[in-house]
Structure formats: C-alpha cells, structure tokens
Chain A
Amino acid sequence: MTPPPSVIPAKRPECADPNMEFLSDFLISPFVDHGFMRRALVACLALSTGSCTVGVFLILRRMSLMGDALAHALLPGAAIGFLLGGLSLPAMSAGGFIAGIATALLSGMVARFTALREDASFAAAYLTALAVGVMIVSLKGSTVDLMHILFGSILAVDDLSLALVASTASLTLLGMAAIYRPLVVECFNPGFLAAVGVRGSLYHYAFLALAVLNMVAAFQALGTLMALGLLLLPAVAASFWARQVVTMALVALPMAAASGFVGLLVSYHAGVPSGPAIVLVASLFYIVSLLLGTHDSVRLRIAPPAHLRA
C-alpha cells in the first residue's frame, strides 16, 4: 500500500513509510543531527570491543566486585585532575589511571603482607577513595560537576576522548591477545603456571592495568560509579549463553554495543544521564539472559529438558 502523497515529507523523500520515518527520527536522527551523540556512540562502540574480554576475565577471576571497587577508586584521581585542570579530559584521565593502578597495587600488597583478605582490603581502599574523591570535587566544583564525574556526561565526549577510547580499545585487544594464554592458566590453575616456572602475578598485574585503562576510558560516558557497567554486565549476561572464554567475549560484544546505542537514545530522548541509561540497558540484557539463556538459566530450571539415556 502506498501512503497518500501528503504524508511524504518534502525533505526526506526516501522515507516513504510513516512508521519508517518515526523510527528514523527516533533511532537515527539524534546521531545525524548532533555531533556529540555521534562521538558518544563511536566511543561506546569502541569501548565495547575492548572491554568485553576484560569483563569476561573479571568474572572468571572472580573479581567482579573487586573491579567495581577499582572503578570507584578512579574517583579521587579524577578529582585531583579536576582540581588541577578543571573538567579537562587528559588531567582527569591521567589522575584516574594513576589512582586506579595505585589502588590495585596497594590492595594487592596489603593482602599479601597482612592477614587481611584481598576483598576486604579492596573494600577498605575503595570506600576511602570514594570519600576522598567526593570531598575534593565538592570543595572546588559544583554539584553538576560532581554529577558529571559520578554518572557520566555524553556532552563531555570530545575528539580527545574519542582518541583515548580508541587507543584504549586497540591496546586492550592487543594486550589481551598477548597475555591470553598465561592469564587463562593463571585463572584456572595458578599452581601449574608456578610449577613450569612462569611468574603468574606479572600477567595478573598486566590484566589489572588493562582493566583500569578500560574503566578510565569508560568514565567519560558512564561516570566513575558506573564505569564497570559496560565491562561487566554484558560479560555476565554472556555467561548464560556461552561456555568458552572466546565465545563468551563474542556474545558479550554485541550486547555491549547495543547497550551503548540504546542507552544513548534513552539518555537523549528522556533527558537522563547517559551512564545509568546505558547500564540499565545492559542490565536488561543480563535479566533476559538470566531468564532465557542456554546455560543455568531460570527457563532451564523451571522446565528442564528431558534427560538422556547415558
């Protein structure tokens, strides 16, 4: 059925169908019309490619909560950068990276040299870091600045941020490819690695550095409180669909990319901060995977498939 000629807008003759037109207005034009939306989208897509593998390994190393603590620990560094350079990306990113690495190393050392377990020392470190960070930002900046740093702001994604995110993604992919095998063995059988004479802790710290790097890259769009969201939630969701490290990362990737795309649209149309919007979409993927996934899902618990003869 052809629509009446009056419905067809003069400007966009290629959109013949009104439904299509609505969809393109809703889904595509925010990115066509606004440069900051385009940059934010590219940033999210680039972020997704690198962070999926990191997220999968955070889960496999049972470090999900430690990763969360690490992300919070970026805040005081970013805040000091903010104190010195205002809302400047290089200053805040460098500060955040240094603070994240320092927290990871210090917590690891505290755990090694005292009886305190690593999760406890991480929790102590991140509470301290969060408090220090909020204090510093509150002293100099406004509540809006604090909101931006904590929850992210797509307006903040400029060309420099894009360059940072792109190099982070490239470095992450190369780095993870380089340390992949020792890291896998360090995850599932550290004793074997030690017995063949490989220092597993080296690869552990290299991995932590890549994780911190990804969170630094993510905090522009997602904020320090949610920087881990795009790393971890797609990976957790993927664990309900895949049973191998590589396939988990491959399943997580499109979910992370879609979370970025849909989350940015929600943020744009509803006028809410981009961080929570993106993370909420990723959470939806998680919930759907939990309910319907092909491994350990609620669906399989409620209606288990018939068992085999042997």
Chain B
Amino acid sequence: MSAALRLVDVTVAYERHPAVHHVSVDIPEGACTAVVGPNGAGKSTLLKAMVGLVRAVQGRIEFPHRTRAKIAYLPQQSDVDRAFPISILDMVLLGRWHGIGAFGAARPGDIDGAMHAIGAVGLRGFERRPLATLSAGQFQRALFARMLLQDAEIILLDEPFNAIDARTTADLLALVKRWREDHRTVVCVLHDLEQVRAHFPHTLLMARELIAAGPTEQALTAANLLRARAMAESWDDAAAVCHPGEAA
C-alpha cells in the first residue's frame, strides 16, 4: 500500500523537550488511520507537524503524491470565536478558500456546494443562522461541513468527538466512512478504543515514540497498550541531549 504521508525520523520539541521523538512511519493512502496514546503522547503535536503548524526540529514529513494544500485539519480545541457575527453558510463557505481565496467571489456552484455540505451534516435550515446560536454538537457538525467542502485528499481530525453526544458522533463517523469510501486519507486522534476497532482499520500507537503501527488488531495488543501507558508524562528537566543515531 502506498503512503499518503511519510514521516522520516520526525522529532518535534517544545523548549528542547521532545513531544514527538524519532517517529518514522508511513500513513497509508486512502485509508482511515487512528492515532492512539495516553495524554501527552504527542498525538496532537504529530498532527500539527503534518499540517505545518509546528516545525520538526529533526527529520522530515513527505507527501509522495501531492502538495500540502490538499490537507484539511480539525484541531482539538478550535480557536473559533463562537460569538463572532457570521452565518453558518459563510463559515462553511470558507472551506472553498483554495478556490475563492481572499479576494474572489463565491460562485453559485460554491454556494450550492456549501448548502449541500450543511445538509449532509444534518444542519439543513441552519444556513442563515448566526454561529453563536449553535450548540457544541451542532458547531462540530458545521466544522465537518466546512471540511466536506474543502474536498481535501488528506483529512486530519484531532479528537473530533470530545464532548459530542452518541447520535452526533454516529452521524460524523458516517461522514468519516464516506471519506474512506471516496479513498481519502483520514488520520484521526481518538481515545475510545472501541471506536478505533470498529471504524479504523489502521492504528498508530504513540507514547512520544512510536509504540506500534499497522492493522488495528495488531497494533492495539494488550502488551503494546501497557508499554504506551508506561510513558512518563512529565518532562525530565535533567534529560541529556539526544544525539543522532543514539537510542532514546
């Protein structure tokens, strides 16, 4: 299976302390990959490095088949000012940024696409509503609608179902399934292992370093999970400098 993303010896550090440490892995093209690991394991940091929001201090991230412009990213804590006076339609239309840009006009096709995406996430009739009137679940649906419109080949989701009820989660998981059927590459950080086993054929188990990667059942063995859980969460202030070529 070819790789949509190839991480080669990637290390991302905050104040010299690695959050992601010497991770080398291929993310399979056109498949759903879950990223699993304890808190502080560097899952979010890994996604940010893939989007280019944080820089790897070592190693590189390769996209064998495309440029970065084809990535859609849903952060764990979105920085959206939900009191901002903007309609759902306008927010979802931002998904077409690569087509419309900062100065272009939205064409009727763009607006139709946005309406369709809003309908697909179950928010039909909300198009003209201000963003401030949405509940947390509806807001998450709106963000998914924007991602639908982005028509990205690689979709990165960081804990998208936190504080989301079962029905909304099921609806959004159905969208993830649709992306899989469209042969898009989905990378999703999750904590619910049942969800991972049910919906994500591939898994990346992390604890700052890569513990396991591969088909979900092979990656999420009891032994691997135990190893991941053993990761020390705090920084070691006295940690020595990590030299290349040396095991961490």
Chain A residues near B (Cβ < 8 Å):
60, 178-179, 181-182, 184-185, 187-192, 194-198, 242-245, 248
Contact = CB atoms under 8 A, between A and B. Distances in A.
Contacts of A194: 53
Contacts of A195: 51, 53, 71, 73
B86 A184 contact: yes
B230 interface: no
B102 interface: yes
Contact of A198 (B52, B80, B84, B102): B102
Given A188-B84, A192-B94, 18 more contacts: A60-B85, A179-B102, A185-B94, A187-B81, A189-B79, A189-B94, A191-B53, A191-B78, A191-B79, A192-B97, A196-B69, A196-B97, A196-B98, A198-B97, A243-B130, A244-B85, A244-B130, A245-B85
B75 interface: yes
B68 interface: yes
Given A188-B84, A195-B53, A181 B130 contact: no
Interface in B182-238: none
16 contacts: A187-B84, A188-B81, A188-B84, A188-B86, A189-B80, A189-B91, A191-B53, A191-B79, A192-B94, A192-B97, A194-B53, A195-B71, A197-B69, A243-B85, A244-B87, A248-B85
A252 B73 CA distance: 37
B14 interface: no
A187 B82 CA distance: 11
Contacts of A242: 85
Contacts of B68: 197
A178 B85 contact: no
Contacts of B51: 195
Nearest to A181: B102
A190 B79 contact: yes
Nearest to B80: A189
A185 B69 CA distance: 18
A182 B100 CA distance: 12
A184 B87 CA distance: 12
